[in-house]
Structure 1
Amino acid sequence: MKTPKRLQPLIDEGLVDEVLRPLMSGKEAAVYVVRCGEAIRCAKVYKDASQRSFKKAVQYQEGRKVRSSRRARAMEKGSSFGREQAEESWQNAEVDALYKLSDAGVRVPTPYGCYDGVLLMELIVDEDGDVAPRLNDIQLTAEQARRDHKTMMQDVLRMLAVGLVHGDLSEFNVLQDQQGPVIIDLPQAVDAAANNNAQWMLTRDVDNITQYYAQFAPELASSQYAKEIWALFEAGNLNPETPLTGTFIEEEREVDLNAVLDEINAAFTEMQDRKARQQAENDED
């Protein structure tokens, strides 16, 4: 096939020997199957921001750290340089997440580096050596669904243990190889401690995956893994190997009405004092 323009520099540098075929084109990137020496890998070519249709990107970028203060200021101002830096930050987020999650024992494709907006990584294949299917393209037995759902919940826990929430997890960005599910598509991964949207993103991730597996094992629909995992995170008890149960008991606290009334009265008194001070200042003028 004709070599895509964005992949030509990698061929010139000897990082890729041949582009074999396009694999897929999504909302944020186009992916190609490539040959690197004797290895078959995939090359993810990120689309420019103007072409990318990923919604609410600002929510995902909240809390991302930029080492250079100059770069951070440029990104805030939205200058052309700042937009370039924002794009680089978006792309590097996936590379960084892949390395971090791989080290943490989460099943993700092995990354081989990012070069001018092109991510080289492992091609996930099935038992026949063909490209592994996405979850939405396969059928599972109830036993497989229970087993793989448990694996996915443990991986969500391991991700959070290293400070990350996927942010867009569903049956469309999980592949299925011979060993089970493999998580892909991580440029929108968020910092759990720094992003104010992290909890609801994690809840949505868990709900999406649970809804998928519940098609084959309906009892999974009543599990409460998101609440259980986030409670461990908030309590500082997040061990990546903690066995999860899928159950969560809401803590019921008796409301101290007297304390609530005291708070209201204190706030009212403070407001009255503030008004009195303002009136006195106005009278002096």
Structure 2
Amino acid sequence: MKIPKRIQPLVDDGLVDEVIRQLMSGKEASVYVVRCGNDIRCAKVYKEADKRSFKQAVQYREGRKVRNSRRARAMEKGSKFGREQQEQVWQSAEVDALYTLAAAGVRVPQPYGCFDGVLLMELVTDDEGLVAPRLNDVSMSAEQAREDHAVVMEYVKRMLCAGLIHGDLSEFNVLVDEYGPVIIDLPQAVDAAANNNAQWMLARDVNNMTSYYAQYAPELLDSQYAKEIWALFEAGELHPDVELTGQFEESTEVADVDSVLEEIKAVFAEEQDRRERLREAEELG
């Protein structure tokens, strides 16, 4: 096929030898199957900011650090240079996340580098060597659904242990090969400790996946993985080896409103007394 304009520099530099076909076009990128020497890989070409349909980008960028102060200032001002730098940060976020999560024991495509807005990475295939299907195109038994759901919850846990939340996890961002689920599409991955939307995003990721697998195993709807994982995270007790149960007991403690009001009244009375003593001291002075 005709070489896309954005991939041409990689061909010129010998990083890509042939563009075989377009695999898909999504809200933030187009993906092509390419040949690099003897290897078949995929090239993810990120769309420019004004052509992306990913509307909540600001929520996902919150908390991302830029070490270079000049770049950070330019990004804040929204200058042309700043917008270019913001795009680089957006694109490099996926590469960084892929390396981080692979090291954390999460199955993701192996990255080979990002070059001028084109990410080269492993092409995930099934047991016949064909492109692995997305989860939404796969049917399964109840037993398989329970097994794969547990695997995905383990990956969500390991992501959070590594300080990341996918942020857009669904049946459309999971591939299924002969070994099970593979997590993809990570440019919007968020810093769990720095993003104010982190807990909400984690819950949405977990609930999306649970709802999907529950089509085959309805009992999964009774699980509470999002609350369990976040509670462990907030308590500083989340680590890769912690065993998840999917159970979580809400606090049954009910605020004693009368006691709280009494405490407020006591503090108010004490403050009034303090002011009265100050007034009397001023008068004597």
Structures share a fold, TM > 0.5? yes
- Superposed, 1:92-103 pairs within 5 Å as 92-103=92-103
2:118 matched to 1:118?
yes
Shift of 1:250: 1.1
Following the alignment from structure 1 to structure 2, what is the Cα–Cα distance between the partners of residues 264 and 70? 48
Task: Give the distance between the partners of 1:202 and 1:95, measured in 2 at CA.
Answer: 20
Counterpart position of 1:72: 72
Match of 1:260 in 2: 260
Equivalent in the alignment of 2:212? 212
- 1:86 is matched with 86
Cα deviation, 1:41-66, whole Å, max 9, x if unaligned, reads: 00000000000000211000000000
Match of 1:104 in 2: 104
**CA contact under 8 A between 1:23 and 1:31: conserved in structure 2?**
yes
- The CA distance in 1 between the partners of 2:136 and 2:192, in whole Å, is 27
Counterpart in the other structure of 1:62: 62
Cα distance in 2 for residues equivalent to 1:166 and 1:90: 14
Distance in 2 between residues matched to 1:269 and 1:137, nearest whole Å: 67
- Post-superposition shift, 1:242? 1.3
The separation in 2 between residues aligned to 1:93 and 1:67, in whole angstroms, is: 14
C-alpha deviations, 1:9-61, integer Å up to 9, x for none? 00111111110000000000000000001000000000000000002110000
Q: Check 1:270–1:170 CA distance in 2 against 1; reply closer, same or farther (3 A cut).
A: farther
Q: Which residue of 2 aligns with 1:200?
A: 200
Q: How many residues end up aligned between the 2 structures?
A: 274
* Separation (CA, whole Å) in 1 of partners of 2:247 and 2:116: 45
Structure 2: stretches of 5+ with no match in the other structure:
274-285
1:69-104: per-residue Cα shift (whole Å, max 9, x none)?
Answer: 111111111111111111100001000000000000
Amino acid across the alignment from 1:260: V
Can you give the 5+ residue segments of structure 1 that lack an aligned partner in the other structure? 274-285
Q: Distance in 2 between matches of 1:56 and 1:268?
A: 44
* 1:272-283 superposed matches below 5 A: none
- Structure 1 residues 8 and 263, CA gap change in structure 2 (3 angstroms): farther
Map of 2:282 onto structure 1 = none
State the 1:128 CA deviation.
0.6
Q: Deviations over 1:120-162 (max 9, x none)?
A: 0000000110000001111011111000000000000000000
Give the residue type in structure 1 aligned to 2:21: R
| Aligned equivalents of 1:216, 1:174: Cα separation in 2 | 17
Return the letter of the residue paired with 2:245.
T
Helix, strand or coil at the partner of 1:50: helix
Name the CA shift for 1:272/1:30 in 2 (closer, same or farther; >3 Å).
farther
Give the structure 2 partner of residue 185 of structure 1. Answer: 185
- Please report the TM-score for the alignment, with normalisation by the length of structure 2: 0.92
For the pair 1:47 / 2:47, whether they are aligned, the reply is yes
Counterparts of 1:21-32 in structure 2, within 5 Å, are 21-32=21-32
The one-letter amino acid of 2:55's match is K
Change over 3 Å in CA distance of 1:219–1:73 after alignment to 2: same
> Structure 1 length normalisation: TM-score?
0.92
Aligned-partner SS, 2:51? coil
User: Cα distance 1:257–1:128, how it changes in 2: closer, same or farther (>3 A)?
Assistant: same
Residue 140 (str. 1) matches residue 148 (str. 2): no
User: What is the SS of the residue equivalent to 1:240?
Assistant: coil
How far apart, in 2, do the equivalents of 1:41 and 1:175 lie? 15
